């Protein structure tokens, strides 16, 4: 309880000097301490925090990793992580972080990932979800083409959902 509270305080106070210590707390055996450390790193932000989050990506739940990346990473960090992800899990989290940030500048790269069959299926599905989260109408045509041409049923379903969500948003605006 004390370590988790200390991690929360360091994050809230933005004590960047505690970043290395947060990295140690991510490996703690207590799940509450690990969660507090991940959340604190998200609040602290910066390159070191992002590096620590990505180094521990295998032990952080995917949804928490995506949320933490969305908060901690700069545009430059996101760009670097999208170009050379360390793992499939890291790629999924990075792509979802773009969606959580509603990063319109990432629409073209996300469409590229969604269409490119060289990317793992889960990353392509996450790219479709991220495009739906961003909600930019510019993605509608690319998603429609993906719906028409995609052979993988799971990716096709994700693209159809994202396209429907974009169309629904465009009509309500």
pLDDT tens digit string along 46-62? 999 999 999 999 999 99
In this prediction, residue 171 carries a pLDDT of 73
Is-contact 133 99, C-beta < 8 A?
yes
Average pLDDT value for residue range 129-154: 95
Taking the domains of the chain in order of start, what are their residue ranges? Answer: 1-101, 102-173
At 163, list the tokens. Answer: 């396209």
Q: Looking at the domain 102-173, which fold is it?
A: 1.25.10
Assessment of whether the complete model's pTM goes beyond 0.75: yes
List, in order, residues 6 or more apart from 139 with CB less than 8 Å away: 107, 110, 111, 131, 162, 166
The domains spanning 1-101 and 102-173 adopt the same CATH topology: yes
Q: Report the C-alpha gap between 138 and 146 in whole angstroms.
A: 14
DSSP assignment of 79-133, as one string?
A: HHHHHS-SSHHHHHHHHHHHHHTT-GGGHHHHHHHHH-TTS-HHHHHHHHHHHHH
Q: Which class is 1-101 in CATH?
A: mainly alpha
């Amino acid at each position: 309880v004390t370590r988790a509270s200390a991690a929360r305080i360091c994050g809230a106070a933005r004590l960047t000097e505690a970043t290395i210590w947060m990295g140690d707390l991510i490996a703690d055996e207590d799940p509450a301490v690990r969660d507090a450390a991940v959340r604190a790193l998200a609040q602290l932000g910066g390159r070191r925090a992002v590096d620590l989050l990505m180094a521990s990506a295998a032990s952080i739940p995917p949804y928490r990793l995506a949320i933490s990346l969305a908060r901690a990473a700069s545009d430059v960090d996101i760009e670097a992580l999208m170009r050379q992800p360390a793992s499939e899990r890291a790629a999924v989290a990075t792509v979802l972080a773009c969606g959580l940030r509603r990063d319109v500048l990432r629409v073209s790269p996300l469409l590229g990932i969604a269409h490119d069959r060289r990317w793992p299926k889960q990353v392509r599905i996450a790219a479709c979800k991220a495009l739906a989260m961003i909600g930019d109408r510019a993605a509608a045509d690319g998603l429609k083409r993906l719906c028409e041409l995609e052979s993988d049923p799971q990716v096709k379903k994700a693209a159809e959902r994202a396209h429907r969500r974009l169309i629904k948003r465009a009509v309500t605006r």
